[in-house]
A and B are shown apart, each in its own frame.
Chain A
Amino acid sequence: MEKEELRIGVFVCKCGSNIAGSLDVEGLAEYASTLPNVVYAPWNLYTCADAGLEEIKKGIKEHNLNRVVVASCSPRTHEPLFRSVCGEAGMNPYFFEMVNIRDQCSWVHQDKAQAESSMDKARDLIRMGAAKAALLEPQEIITSEVEVRALVIGGGIAGLTAAISLGNRGFPVILLEKEKELGGMLRSLYRLAPMDLDASEVINAKIKEAEDNPNIEIYTGATIEKVEGFIGKFDITFSANGTSKYVRLGVVIIATGAGNLVPEGMYQYDGDKVITQWELEERFKAGKVDANNVVIIQCVGARSPERRYCSRICCAIGIKNAILIKERNPEAKVHILYRDLMMYGVENEDQLRKAKELGVRFVKYDPERPPVVEENKVTVFHHLMGKELEIPQEMVVLSTPLVGTEDGVKIGNLFRAGLDQNKFFLEAHVKLRPLDCGTDGIFICGSAHYPKDVRESIMQALGAVSRASIPLSQGEVKIEPIVTTLVNKDACRGCGLCVALCPYNALEIRDTDEGRKVNIITVACKGCGVCAATCYRHALSINSFTDYQMEAQIHSFMAA
């Protein structure tokens, strides 16, 4: 193929006075026109305004440009716009390069003393951009079809909510529950704080809604056996009630919940006179609570060296149950021994106030001197009174944290979804992508993520559904072609060095006719470049961020 003559156009933007205020934009444009392969270098007042965009299109047509550089602002905000304009003018959009002379130059070097050196810097940046542009390669947007069907794992309140919401949007859903019955944790709860609802009523209504929804296929007693594929095309094999089934799905929502810590060996726990909140709830349901002197101990097994986290919901649970005991028998003596109270928000705060009004006693204990449970009494050091307090008891209730489960670990491994050290699922980014897993197409909600109350579980489920609906409703995923490519297939030895380091599992080794070679799952790749920087055979490269392009930028800088 004959090498096309390079015709670079550089558009330098004034951004009103944002850039022109401290840089001589006309001078920069003139300078740009002297650079190698640059055939056209105008300046604009606002390149991103309609007139400016027209200029680019016109420039491409009239000057036969095959590379465009815009020297203006941040690619974070404007690159997609300029890129698509280049595409509209018939140029491959990936022949576009952006240079930031505003955020990284005019704005930050306004001192008069920097006038000269900031012009130097702007010239360098433009020259470096043009040098990189000369080496750009054309790319095509990558699209991949999405199988319009979702999988929801876990039939607790979060999973049910997610399945119903997806079903209501018209997407087919498969809901898998490992137990014989739907409902999760709520099946064994009594009343729900803070609104004092009947847990069974809440969950049974949800179960019915799910069962009545024609778009939801429910499997109980289900185990996932095999998972392959990636966003849009997950191939899942699961067994339910003795038969094995295979399905292809587009997205997955994980709602596998959490477990209850059994506080073996702590505070004389025996499941009889010393019980957990969970066991207390079951007794309430069975109407078997008659103790009148009750001591509730918070943070049992939580916020400790082995479980550093706060389980968030157990303070509310402890207070809810204290109120229930008090309401049943106002004469009952209820003590809550706590470290800190996590009663956040208006409703929870009201509950706390109510508990105090009803006469529940709160005693703060020091984790260095934890309460001691003995036959018929609990001794605790009261830090304000500075002395030991002896509280008579007929029943001790321990507030234990929700804990990650082995089931979660199994699901995590199958889907290559990360878990934290406490076996809770990890989001892709705490603030930017709090509902997504690191692996595309997988979303998390409910206590599987970390301890949550029912309201939060429902909120997160709805959020996850809205995230999951994006690929489902579009029917395809579009991926920026800034991904890795196997530029030298012969060089690849199929060693797997890159595979082990890819944070997105976007690489795998395949046996091919030419031997073992790496295979890139382009839809999963995010273009971080770790693989290319690692490959000892230099077989991989990142589109639009190749070694040569980066080196060209540096060489061009040094060539000043």
Chain B
Amino acid sequence: MAEKNVLIVGGGVAGVKAALAQADAGNKVFMVEDLPSIGGERIPQDRIISDGDFFTAPDLAAVKENNAIQVIDSAEVRSLVGENGNFKVKIHRRTPRVDREKCDDCGECIKVCPIHMYDDYNESLEWRTAVDYFNFGSGSYNVFKEDMPVCQRTCPINLDIRTYVGYIADGKYAESLATIRKKLPFPLSIGRVCPHPCEFECNRGYKDEPISICFLKRYVADHEVYNDVEPPITLPEETYPEKIAIIGGGPSGLTCAYHLALLGYQNNITVFEALPACGGMFLVGIPEYRLPKAILAKDVEFVEKHGVEIKCGVRIGKDISFDDIRKDYDAVLLAIGAHLGMSMRVKNEDAEGVFEGVKFLRDAALGNEIPNKGTCIVVGGGNVAMDVARTSLRVGFDEVNLLYRRTRKEMPASPWEVDAAEHEGIKFHFLVAPQEVVVKGGKAVGMQCLKMELGEPDASGRRRPVPIEGSEFVMDADTLFAAIGQVTDTSVVEEKHGFNIGRKFNFEVNPKTFETNVPGVFSSGDSATGAGIAIAACAGGKTAAESIHKYLRGKK
């Protein structure tokens, strides 16, 4: 029988058995294991079980001695193509931190390794140091620890938080900002508005309170502004000629533009923005009191200075057709956000005096005419609802009522926003669902509502509100705002372009590359993921930039 190459993915007990069987059958075996050593969870224990008297599992010893088996540890299978009998596999092996040629199992490194962690291979019963991971096959150690600290792992764009916060502690502000800007061009804006999921994970929180990761970012960035330091701009020397169109100048589009510039496409990137200025929801969603426009402008300017051309007031699909864009550019990013308010699906929703919350915010931001008299009702419990409510108060409404179906505990809005809104005098009405807009003379005058109580938890884990029979009541108002979510206006592209549209009216993309089903067209941010948070939109933009780079280079 002709010798065959066999790939075994996973070097646990089953993998080891299979490898030996295949080798016995005369095949050449490659065994890929993610951990630094084969044998699954047994190896380190083998070394301690009998107090110095080494006990080695016979199967593992057999693998080691069998020349037909090649163990590729610290590695993962990245892709597998082909078919039966003719597979091609791509294996990614992490660089081992210990030079196996030189390591002779002296154990000195274990004594001095500074990183102390639970030994997960001994049921966390004891502590070990990070380097203390013995590789059975090679007789050498390796470093085995989490690749990223929790905060960094939680941050959608994986900012190197430990380093930038550390630099601030050392008083090295410029270095700190440079660390942030390796990934994120918006430290001023994100430092103000990010709901900072990282801080909820911060280990320091177990002791007292989390590190103020978000505001520290704002602090270093503000420090630069107040000291009139020009943010340093460094662009690569090697450049590429391909032209890239970015549709939508929000956080996602601009981050993508920034990273494309850093990759060498400076002066070949054009951002098309429908509105008179850039910033997306940073500009027309998040209100001035949370993110001043002058501050935002500095972040945008920083991106622009990287050789990014920004064309405002150009709406693709109206001023320029998508076909023209496709013709003139080698790659396209759709980062048009989610700017259409979702419908409340109640009767008379289209009556005069009922507005989409996001439209109201947009008009307020752009200085357009907006309703501002009497009482208003805001429906919704998220951060957008908070922004609408707090903005309403600021533009002149006498009374602002906020309706939410569940209780305060279930509100998705950030707690500090809810506190602030309450403090400012917004009246909260919990466990209340809108039923019908009450109309008089073609104009909305109030909302008929239904009281609710909490039932069983639903798929999201939150307890589902159920209506209380006969509890209807009417709340009067001059203006009604719906702030229950936003979706993307995908009409930029026409049906003939053949984009797959997802469940949330978003462009369907490959979640790793952010490429749409149309080759050369990418989408990121809210228009790809549905309405989310800004830092996630930035993260998407960065990944999209890397994918566009690969796409363009791959075409060569």
The complex places the Cα of A536 from the Cα of B106 at a distance, in Å, of: 15
Interface string of B24-49 (1 = CB under 8 A from A): 00000000000000000000000000
A495 beta carbon closer than 8 Å to chain B: yes
A493 within 8 A of B: yes
CA distance A495 to B106 in the complex (A): 12
- B384-424 with Cβ < 8 A to chain A: none
Complex interface bits, A158-184 against B, C-beta within 8 A gives 1, otherwise 0: 000000000000000000000000000
Q: Does B1 contact A (CB under 8 A)?
A: no
Q: With the chains together, A302 CA to B123 CA distance in Å?
A: 63
Residues in B whose Cβ lies below 8 Å from that of A536: 112
Q: Chain B, 97-138, contact with A by CB distance < 8 Å: what is the 0/1 string?
A: 000000000101000100000000000000000000000000
B376 CB, nearest partner CB in chain A, Å? 51
Residue of A nearest to B112 (CB): A536
Complex interface: chain A residues within 8 A of B108 (CB):
493, 495
Complex Cα gap A495–B112 (Å): 11
The complex places the Cα of A509 from the Cα of B475 at a distance, in Å, of 83
A493 to B112, CA, bound (A): 13
Q: How close is A399's CB to chain B, nearest CB, in angstroms?
A: 25
Chain A at the B interface: mostly helix, strand, loop or mixed? loop
Say how far B99's CB is from chain A's closest CB, in angstroms. 13
B112 proximity list for chain A (CB < 8 A): 536
The number of chain A residues with a CB under 8 A from chain B is 3
CA distance A493 to B106 in the complex (A): 10
B173 to A: closest C-beta gap in Å: 15
Q: When each residue 491-531 of chain A gets 1 if its CB lies under 8 Å from chain B and 0 otherwise, what string results?
A: 00101000000000000000000000000000000000000
Interface string of A525-560 (1 = CB under 8 A from B): 000000000001000000000000000000000000
For the complex, give the distance between the alpha carbons of A495 and B108 in Å: 10
Closest A residue to B229 by CB, please name it. Answer: A305
Interface string of A280-301 (1 = CB under 8 A from B): 0000000000000000000000
Q: Which of A451-496 contact B (CB under 8 A)?
A: 493, 495
Chain B contacts for A493, CB-based, 8 A: 106, 108
- Chain A residues contacting B106 (CB-CB under 8 Å) are 493
Complex CA–CA separation, A536 to B114 (angstroms): 14
> What residues of B have a CB within 8 angstroms of the CB of A495 in the complex?
108
Q: How far is the CB of A491 from chain B (nearest CB, A)?
A: 11
For window 106-155 of A, CB contacts with B under 8 Å fall at none
Task: Give the CA-CA distance A493 to B107 in the complex, in Å.
Answer: 11
Within the complex, what minimum Cβ distance (angstroms) separates A55 from chain B? 53
For window 461-501 of B, CB contacts with A under 8 Å fall at: none
Question: A536–B113 Cα gap in the complex (Å)?
Answer: 13
Alpha-carbon distance A536/B112, docked complex (angstroms): 9
- By beta carbon, the residue of chain A nearest B106 is A493
Bound: A329/B67 CA distance, A: 91
Beta-carbon nearest neighbor of B104 in chain A:
A515
Q: How close is A513's CB to chain B, nearest CB, in angstroms?
A: 15
Nearest CB in chain A: distance from B277 CB, A? 30
Shortest CB-to-CB span from A434 to chain B, Å, is 31
- Give bound CA distance, A536 to B111, whole Å: 10
* Chain B residue at minimal CB-CB distance from A537: B108
Return A492 CB to nearest CB of chain B, in Å.
11
A379–B534 alpha-carbon span in the complex (Å): 47
A27 to B146: give the CA distance in the assembly, Å. 69
| Closest CB in chain A relative to B228 CB, distance in Å | 11
Q: Digit string of A378-408 for contact with B (CB within 8 Å is 1, else 0)?
A: 0000000000000000000000000000000
Task: Give the distance to chain B from A512, nearest Cβ to Cβ, in Å.
Answer: 15
The complex places the Cα of A554 from the Cα of B108 at a distance, in Å, of 32
Q: Which residue of A lies closest to B111 (CB)?
A: A536
Min CB distance, B191 to chain A, in Å?
Answer: 25
Closest-by-CB residue of B relative to A516 is: B102
Which residues between 205 and 220 of chain A lie within 8 Å of chain B, taking CB atoms? none
CB distance from B455 to the nearest CB of A (A): 64
**CB closest chain-B residue, reference A497:** B112
Q: How far is the CB of A516 from chain B (nearest CB, A)?
A: 9
Kindly state the separation between the CA atoms of A340 and B112 in the bound complex, as whole angstroms. Answer: 55
Q: Smallest CB-CB separation from B109: which chain A residue?
A: A495
- Alpha-carbon gap, A493 to B102, bound state (A): 13
State A366–B134 Cα separation when bound (angstroms). Answer: 66
Q: State in angstroms the CA–CA spacing of A475 and B108 once bound together.
A: 44
Cβ distance B244 to chain A, nearest Cβ, rounded Å: 28
Nearest opposing residue in chain A for B102, CB measure: A516
Contact with A along B9-32 (1 / 0, CB 8 A): 000000000000000000000000
A536–B108 Cα distance when bound, in Å, is 11
Complex: A517 Cα to B108 Cα, angstroms: 15
A152 to B112 Cα, complex, angstroms: 45
A67 to B112, CA, bound (A): 41
Measured CB to CB, the closest approach of chain A to B501, in angstroms, equals: 49
Shortest beta-carbon distance, A431 to chain B, in Å?
A: 30
A494, chain B: closest CB distance, angstroms: 10
Q: Looking across the interface, which residue of chain B has its beta carbon closest to that of A495?
A: B108
- In the complex, how many angstroms separate the beta carbon of B108 from the nearest chain A beta carbon? 6
* B142-190, CB < 8 A from A: none
Shortest Cβ distance from B108 into A: residue:
A493
In the bound assembly, the distance between CA atoms of A493 and B108 in angstroms comes to: 9
Q: A536 to nearest B CB, angstroms?
A: 7
Residue of B nearest to A493 (CB): B108
In angstroms, Cα B112 to Cα A402, docked, is 47
Chain B residue nearest to A536 (CB atoms) is: B112
Q: In the complex, what's the smallest C-beta–C-beta distance from B224 to chain A, in angstroms?
A: 14
How far does the Cβ of B426 sit from chain A's closest Cβ, in whole Å? 48
A247 to B112, CA, bound (A): 43
**Could you tell me the distance between the alpha carbons of A87 and B108 in the complex, rounded to whole angstroms?**
44
Whole-angstrom distance between the alpha carbons of A493 and B110 in the complex?
14
Tell me the minimal C-beta distance from A251 to chain B in angstroms: 38
Residues 31 to 52 of chain A near chain B (Cβ within 8 Å): none
Min Cβ gap B255→A in Å is 29
Q: Which 4 pairs of residues, A with B, have the shortest CB-CB distance? A: A493-B108, A536-B112, A495-B108, A493-B106
Q: Chain A: residues with CB nearer than 8 A to chain B? A: 493, 495, 536
B residues touching A (Cβ–Cβ < 8 Å)?
Answer: 106, 108, 112
4 residue pairs A–B, Cβ–Cβ below 8 Å = A493-B106, A493-B108, A495-B108, A536-B112
